[in-house]
Amino acid sequence: MNFDHSSKVQDLMAKLSTFMDTEIYPIEEHYHNLVASSTDRWQTPQLMEALKDKAKAQGLWNLFLPKEYLPHGAGLTNLEYAPLCELMGTVMFSSEVFNCSAPDTGNMEVIAKYGTQAQKDKWLLPLLNGEIRSAFAMTEPEVASSDATNIETSIENKGDHYQINGRKWYTSGAMNNNCKILIVMGKTDPSAARHEQQSQILVPLNTPGVTVVRPMAAMGYLDEPIGHAEVLFENVKVPKENLVLGEGRGFEVAQGRLGPGRIHHCMRLIGCAQRALDMTCERVENRIAFGQPLSKQQSVRESIAQMYCKIEQARLLTLKAADNMDNYGNKVAKNIIAAIKIVAPKMACEVIDEAIQIHGALGTSQDTILSATLAYARTIRLADGPDQVHMMQLGKNLVLGRNKKL
């Protein structure tokens, strides 16, 4: 475990930090206002394209993509990406600026890793260029998707094509006007062994039979202009070559995306929590109640100390997980990936909630990002597996002595 950064990463950190300071924070409020006042809430503000161009020009692009996929991406390890991802996490929309936003990152990794050349040409390249966006349709309203074997959408092999029927929701990204492609998980063979029933398949959003039913709220937020869609699939026909990797290999593909996906969320949430702490430290110096600044209250000092302790611990655990993933692979590192997925979202919820309490009414308002980031953190306690599923796996593995030495 060596958490020191190479000079390459230090350079990227400095560049990204400068970019955030000069290009992002100054327009943050303006951006949110643009979205809120837009006539089409699913249209990304034009502003975004200019920001993306600037980021690309500075080499701050596809930073998430590991070295296997060079020359695409920055070729960073998870450990190297961590401080960058955390920094992007401090502003809700900034990951997109650097083409590092979920769920596209996961989708790009999947296609890069498991896709055919044709799939790559058609979908990966525009995604890597930030020309289109994508979504991943997995969770279903009718079944407990925390147990992914429950997923019921059918992907029937009809000889020359697949036919898809089912209902998905919380398909994040699918509301956005620029979303063109879905990766859909469903059953190709309900009679196969439990973990071989599912497959993943590429479905262009404009395929006949695909209906974006409505935007789903996440703790009161529609998360415009990205959104989370309910999507209905009615006799949707897609060519056979759209299947990813092979029939029955849906779980294998899912495993490949979930490790990085989870740790990226954790990194971003650490950024959210750190910003909440920074805002709080500033606020308490300037807010007077009962004759003195809040910062002189022992209870406020205790809150701030606790926030720091929680953030710092979660950050270190995330770095260790990143390091283990880099050195031993996602499978061997699964215990500590589970651990950060349990720890970081809950930590972020607690830290941001405390920041809101100290901010008072302002903290609950649209004038800070606190309540929106709390909503984000809260949903991540469920997305990509609820806390309980990760605790189940981790607890079980620990008792069995699996992966003990890491």
Copy the structure tokens of residue 139: 């969770």
Residue 249: strand, helix, or coil: coil
Tell me: does residue 277 bind a second copy (CB under 8 A).
Answer: yes
Q: Which stretch binds a second copy (CB under 8 A): 23-31, 48-56, 238-246, 353-361?
A: 353-361
| Closer CB to a second copy, 119 or 368, in the complex | 368
Calculate Rg over the CA atoms of the chain. 21
What lies within 8 Å, CB to CB, of 215 at 6+ separation is: 42, 175, 222, 227, 228, 229, 230
Tell me: does residue 298 bind a second copy (CB under 8 A).
Answer: yes
Binding-site size for a second copy (CB under 8 A) equals 86
Closest contact distance (angstroms) between CB of 159 and a second copy is 33
Kind of pairing, strands 179-187 and 133-137? parallel
Tell me: does residue 285 bind a second copy (CB under 8 A).
Answer: yes
| Closer CB to a second copy, 105 or 274, in the complex | 274
CA 176 to chain CA centroid, nearest Å? 16
Tell me: does residue 218 bind a second copy (CB under 8 A).
Answer: yes
- Exactly one of 78, 95, 134, 145 binds a second copy (CB under 8 A); which one? 145
Contact positions with a second copy (CB under 8 A) in 146-165: 146-147, 150
Measured CA to CA in angstroms, residue 38 lies from 31, 103, 178, 224 at distances of 11, 23, 16, 10
Tell me: does residue 169 bind a second copy (CB under 8 A).
Answer: yes
| Closer CB to a second copy, 181 or 339, in the complex | 339
- Exactly one of 116, 154, 163, 295 binds a second copy (CB under 8 A); which one? 295
- Exactly one of 110, 375, 377, 384 binds a second copy (CB under 8 A); which one? 375
Closest contact distance (angstroms) between CB of 329 and a second copy is 19
CA 111 to chain CA centroid, nearest Å? 17
Tell me: does residue 4 bind a second copy (CB under 8 A).
Answer: yes
- Cβ distance 267 to 86 under 8 Å? yes
Token pair 């809430």 is found at 41
Contact positions with a second copy (CB under 8 A) in 121-140: 139
Tell me: does residue 229 bind a second copy (CB under 8 A).
Answer: no
The 299-338 contact track toward a second copy, x by CB under 8 A, reads xxxxxxxx-xx--xxx-xx-xx--------------xx-x
Rounded CA gap, 71 and 341, in Å? 30
* 225: nearest Cα among 90, 108, 352, 133: 133
Token pair 């900034």 is found at 94
